[in-house]
A and B are shown apart, each in its own frame.
Chain A
Amino acid sequence: MNSRRYWKNRIPFLLTNLVCMAAITVFLLVCGNSFSAVLLILVVWALVLLAGLFLTYWTRKRQMQKLLDMAGQLSERYLISEVMELPEQAEDQVYYQLLKMAGKSMLEQIGEVRRERLEYKEYIEQWIHEIKTPITAMKLLCENHRTDWTKELLLELEKTNRFTEQALYYARSEHTEKDYSVREMSLSQVVHQAIADNKYLLLQSGVRLEVEEMEDTVYSDEKWVRFILNQLIANAVKYRSGQPVLRFSTRRQQDRVLLVVGDNGIGISSTDLPRIFEKGFTGQNGRMVQQSTGIGLYLCKRLCDKLDIGITVESSEQGTSISLAFHINCLIHEVQG
């Protein structure tokens, strides 16, 4: 509470008192009272008045501070009217009523927006499932009637599928709690599947693949990891240079298994490196190559965070390597012997 303003608000009341004091002084003096008696009355009056004023000021200030603190502690501040007590003062009650009304309409609005968002998310998911039927049909048509141009078409279908998956995971990354299931998965299998998903892209851009033997199994969600790998492969192809090579390898590091995806592409400049996981960030490389949206790596990071996979990037002019660090749960291995 602003104390200067508080006292400014009290000026009319103080003026009224002063006028009353002056009137009563004149009256008492005219009635023949001694000056000292009148002075005594005035002093007592002033003291009582000031004491009363300061007491109310102090209690008001405390009340208001309590309300401010209460609101400060709430995570949803707009719910303050639900937790505060009904105030004593008549004017305060009006404000209380206003707060209640505002809070209620706010809650309605939020509910509405939430429902709309959920509906939209459901629509997107449903749409993606529907679009997959024609994509499947086109893929089968191409596979069954192979000519030179079906390969081009299959490449485009791979792209279409990657973009739809991106949309699906974008929609899902908002509410992920229910959408993943952690299970034992083989790293080698998920890498081979991700390569199969991008077969035509890799073949037609002439990428040489080096896939090391991987024996580790980790506990994670296979679909998600596959999606992340798909994004990384697409990036490696997009930012390739010279004779492109893509390496997949695993490495043990204390209680983690690192899955490393390394390429010999154009690399990421050190100034851009800290920001590559930001949403919408495209950087120097993005300006050189078309179709950079700044969504792919952002999504990778988000999904990794949810799955507790550590994602780190090293980059130089000789290429980029991205490692995914999976925890190994010693307990599970002990239980299984």
Chain B
Amino acid sequence: MNQKILIVEDEPLIRNELNTLLQSNGYETVAPEELSDVIDQIKVEQPHLILLDIKLPGTSGFSLCTQIRTFSEVPIIFVTSCNTDMDELNSIMLGGDAFITKPYNTAILLAKIASLLRRAYPVKQSEQMACGGAVLRLESSSLDYHGQSVELTKNELKILYYLFKNAGKICARGDLVEFLWDNQLYVDDNALSVNINRIREKLAGIGLTDFIKTKHRQGYTI
């Protein structure tokens, strides 16, 4: 089951785009347009996490947070454009779990959401991804194929993770580099080619050849 995120945001465009962003990253979202009965909606929807804007018409994120905390311990991320220390302090005092200032880096926002969700709702089963008989084991940083296994470095694991996540689609080199940067691996275009070649050699070692295909002038795909 996908985890549900409730977005409290009064700016329609940002609300819609956040919706799209979170949905395309595999979350279920609820984004009420009417904010007057948002507390009731939270009680009904029972979201796994709430994104809460501080400046809202007629009310403020702080007072909503106080109300939510009376009946729920759901993780709350405050999102605001006022990055004063008073706001940050308030948000922590009132039981907010994180504080993000606009304009946020989407990668950082998604990482914060993921880490809060992991902490609040620990997942028991080990994380792995499969494609064409190959299984990528994230926690042990290795790849299995027909009973054989190969160890991966941090860069290789992240590259494969991105390819597995977008299996069947073409991943542009630029997007791949950007994804690596979002994960604090500062790999440039040349280094990416080197990494891809090394992965291919490793995979060939366990009998998996031609797994990563190069699409000329477009990128890679599996």
Which residues from chain A contact B188 at a C-beta distance below 8 Å? 206, 208
CB atoms of B184 and A192 under 8 A apart: yes
Chain A 187-201, CB within 8 Å of chain B: the 1/0 string? 000001101110100
CB atoms of A181 and B81 under 8 A apart: no
CA distance A157 to B103 in the complex (A): 10
Which residues from chain A contact B212 at a C-beta distance below 8 Å? none
Find residues 121-161 in chain A having any chain B CB closer than 8 Å to their own CB.
129-130, 132-133, 135-137, 139-141, 143-144, 146, 151, 157, 161
Contacts A143-B21, A208-B188; is A136 near B103 (CB within 8 Å)?
Answer: yes
The one of B14, B20, B184 that contacts A136, using a Cβ cutoff of 8 Å: B14
Contacts A135-B102, A196-B105; is A211 near B85 (CB within 8 Å)?
Answer: no
Q: Which residue of A lies closest to B189 (CB)?
A: A206
CB atoms of A133 and B11 under 8 A apart: yes
* Nearest CB on A from B209, distance (A): 31
The one of A129, A151, A161 that contacts B174, using a Cβ cutoff of 8 Å: A151
A203 interface residue (CB < 8 Å to B):
yes
CB atoms of B106 and A132 under 8 A apart: no
B126 interface residue (CB < 8 Å to A):
no
Find residues 157-182 in chain B having any chain A CB closer than 8 Å to their own CB.
174-175, 177-178, 181-182
CB atoms of B84 and A139 under 8 A apart: no
Q: Contact size class for B?
A: 20 to 34
CB atoms of B14 and A140 under 8 A apart: yes
CB atoms of B177 and A203 under 8 A apart: yes
CB atoms of A223 and B83 under 8 A apart: yes
B123 interface residue (CB < 8 Å to A):
no
* Nearest CB on A from B177, distance (A): 7
| Total chain A interface residues with beta-carbon distance under 8 A | 33
The one of A135, A151, A208 that contacts B103, using a Cβ cutoff of 8 Å: A135
CB atoms of A140 and B108 under 8 A apart: no
B44 interface residue (CB < 8 Å to A):
no
Which residues from chain A contact B21 at a C-beta distance below 8 Å? 140, 143-144
**Which secondary structure dominates where chain A touches chain B?**
helix
B34 interface residue (CB < 8 Å to A):
no
Q: Which residue of B lies closest to A200 (CB)?
A: B178
CB atoms of B181 and A133 under 8 A apart: no
CA distance A119 to B101 in the complex (A): 24
CA distance A192 to B111 in the complex (A): 13
CB atoms of A193 and B108 under 8 A apart: yes
Q: Which residue of A lies closest to B13 (CB)?
A: A137
Which residues from chain B contact A137 at a C-beta distance below 8 Å? 11, 13-14, 17
B204 interface residue (CB < 8 Å to A):
no
Which residues from chain B contact A211 at a C-beta distance below 8 Å? 184, 186
Give me 24 A-to-B residue pairs in the complex whose CB atoms sit less than 8 angstroms apart, sorted by A's number: A129-B82, A133-B102, A135-B103, A137-B13, A139-B103, A140-B13, A141-B17, A143-B106, A157-B103, A161-B103, A178-B85, A181-B85, A181-B88, A181-B89, A192-B184, A193-B108, A195-B184, A195-B186, A196-B108, A199-B182, A203-B174, A203-B177, A203-B181, A208-B188
Interface, chain A (partner B; CB < 8 A): 129-130, 132-133, 135-137, 139-141, 143-144, 146, 151, 157, 161, 178-181, 192-193, 195-197, 199, 203, 206, 208-211, 223
Q: Which 7 A-B pairs have the closest CB atoms?
A: A140-B17, A209-B186, A132-B81, A136-B103, A136-B102, A129-B81, A181-B85
